[in-house]
Structure 1
Amino acid sequence: MASPISVQLYTLRTEMAEHREATLTRLAQLGYTAVEPFDPLDDPEGFRRTADRLGLTVTSSHAYALLDPAVEPAAVYDAVAALGTDLAIIPAGFEHAEFTHLDGLRRTADRLNSLAVQAARHGIRLGYHNHWWEVAPRLDGRHALEVLVELLDPDVFLEVDTYWAAVAGADVPALLRSLGRRVLALHVKDGPGVHGQANTAVGRGVMPVADILAAASDAWRIVELDSCDGDVYETLAHSHACLTALEHA
């Protein structure tokens, strides 16, 4: 299993807004040694100093601002680099309907490929993160995400949100095997597998976590909770314990 185990900080968006340093300190105390920010433009230098002091690696960063016409892409790439990573990930931002037909997938791929060229000039590699709407549509019996990846330049990677893929009806281990080496990171999540219901700790829901990890053995493991009914830190602690146990199984 790839290590260290990371956390997408959107999980703790409220806590991060209230007290970033205390939140990151708590994650380190839980045993996490890596994080994935969701807004690289929010004081990247200060974030890096805190992360370095706590021994936290920045695995990658979401970079939604790359699709904002009011934001200069170079500023985003520079911020990602300042965080200490060379992986910038676009977490959606395209119309859902674009994933229901080939023309829409081509337009999406063209935009991502163009951004990837810009990113490469700054020493950054571009990735894309799925939700349910890139997986649920099928074209000639294949998930839209599988078709999209064939239209992307080879340097564009995927961060597969395994839970959203399952909610969309995919056999997640089979999907990961199909996507192969294009998958550099996984969002590892668990829960009832029902759209709109809260996530649980990893290992306490319906997801076949061990099979998923085995299907993408070299990918980063990044825990994320879109929502959580219980204590978020307790849920993250249980998730870390589950993934650590699977690593040593």
Structure 2
Amino acid sequence: MSRKISVQLYSVREDLKKDYEAGIRKISDMGFTHVEPAGFPGYTAEKAAKLFKELNLESLTCHGNLPIGEDKNKIIEEAQLLGIKYIYTGCPPGYPDCFKSVDAIKALADTFNEAAEFASQYGIQVGNHNHTYEMLDIDGKPAYEYFLEATPETVLWEADIYWVMAGGRSIPEFIQRLGKRAVALHFKDGIVGATEQELEVQQSDSGLVAKEREFLPAGEGEVPLLEASEAAIDTEIAVVELDSYNGNMMEAIQKSYTYFTKNNIAKGNV
């Protein structure tokens, strides 16, 4: 299996807030070859770039803002510093309302197309990271279809398969629909329960956490991770992520790493 194994650093945000360097070293010691930054709590991008280089950690993907508006050059410069090739956003401008009507989705697609054209000058691609709103129907068609139809295949989509399932969609079918857009994929596990028409969220100190949802180490929940892996023929980077966890997060990340590597979802260093 040539797929790379990464971890979304938002998962370990509390550890990183306490000691960023120590947290990243733990991630490296587990065997991860890649990390997916989502900001640098108590740290800087410059220091993180040096630390990643020392530990031979690549950061090909990140979560952040699209390179548009007055900050677009700064966003690209930071991406270049870190060796980022794919910028994803899980909260595009106007989210979630931007996925609640056809006109709003088309306007959002225009924004992504603008960002993609600018980023392409630097060898960088942009993409969306889904939650459940993108899975809902609008006029009898999934919201994501309007977006995909209005953007070229070079505008990527980082599927979060937990939220695909929570949105009532078939994970394998959705991954297949994305095709070559699915360069990176979040293999998130947990208890989804009955799918909902709308995702209810609450604001906590740690950010957005879904109500009545439970996130678990890979292999301990009900998300069909192995089916997703089989369907993800165009996916190069498999990302571990837990939005939250009722236990030790670093231990959950370690368990997920072991599950990924033992089941050939991705290959690590250990």
Matches within 5 A, 1:53-132: 53-64=54-65, 66=67, 72-93=71-92, 94-132=94-132
CA contact (8 A) 2:226 2:265 kept: no
What is the CA–CA distance in structure 1 between the aligned matches of 2:90 and 2:7, rounded to whole Å? Answer: 15
List 4+ stretches of structure 1 deviating above 4 A. Answer: none
For residues 175-211 of structure 1, give each alpha carbon's deviation from its aligned partner in whole angstroms, at most 9, with x where no partner exists.
1112211111111110101452231001100011100
Alignment check: 8 A CA contact 1:45 1:82 kept? yes
Q: Distance in 1 between matches of 2:238 and 2:144?
A: 20
Quote the offset at 1:39 in angstroms: 2.1
Asked whether 1:157 is paired with 2:186, we answer no
Higher helix share: 1
Give the counterpart of 1:215 among 231, 235, 242. 231
Partner residue of 1:4? 4
Kindly provide the amino acid, as one letter, of the partner of residue 238 in structure 2. Answer: R
Measure, in 1, the Cα distance between the counterparts of 2:148 and 2:171.
Answer: 16
Query: For 2:263 and 2:245, how far apart are their aligned partners in 1?
Result: 22
In the alignment, structure 1 segments of 5+ residues that lack a partner are none
Q: C-alpha displacement at 1:125, in angstroms?
A: 1.1
Residue type at the aligned position of 1:236: I
Residues 124-183 of structure 1, C-alpha deviations (whole Å, 9 max, x = no match): 211111111111x21454421133112113321111111111111111111111221111
Q: Is the 8 A contact 1:44 1:80 kept in 2?
A: no
Cα distance change, pair 216–141 in 1 and its aligned pair in 2 (3 A): farther
The aligned amino acid for 2:215 is N
Deviation string, structure 1 residues 91-123 (Cα, Å, up to 9, x no partner): 223332332332111011001111111212233
The residue number in structure 1 matching 2:262 is 245
| Structure 2 unaligned residues grouped into runs of 5+ | 194-209
The equivalent residue for 1:23 is: 23
Shift of 1:248: 7.7
The equivalent of 2:199 in structure 1 is: none
What do you get for the CA RMSD once the two structures are aligned?
2.1
| 8 Å contact from structure 1 (residues 89, 128) kept in 2 | yes
What secondary structure, in the 3-state scheme, does the structure 2 residue paired with 1:35 have? coil
In structure 2, the residue matched to 1:51 is 52
Which residue pairs with 2:222 in the alignment? 206
Query: Alpha carbons of 1:145 and 1:116: their partners in 2 closer, same or farther (altered >3 Å)?
Result: same
Q: 1:78 to 1:248 in 2, by over 3 A?
A: closer
Q: Secondary structure at the match of 1:128?
A: strand
Change (3 A) 1:225 1:97: same
State the alpha-carbon separation in 2 of the partners of residues 129 and 12 from structure 1: 19
CA displacement at 1:48 relative to structure 2: 1.3
Identity %: 29
Count of aligned pairs between the two proteins = 246
Match of 2:169 in 1: 170
Aligned to 1:6, the other structure's residue is in SS state strand
2:198 paired residue number: none
- For 1:61, what is the secondary structure of its paired residue? strand
**8 A contact 2:67–2:73 mirrored in 1:** no
Give 2:185's aligned residue: 186
CA apart distance, 1:65: 6.3
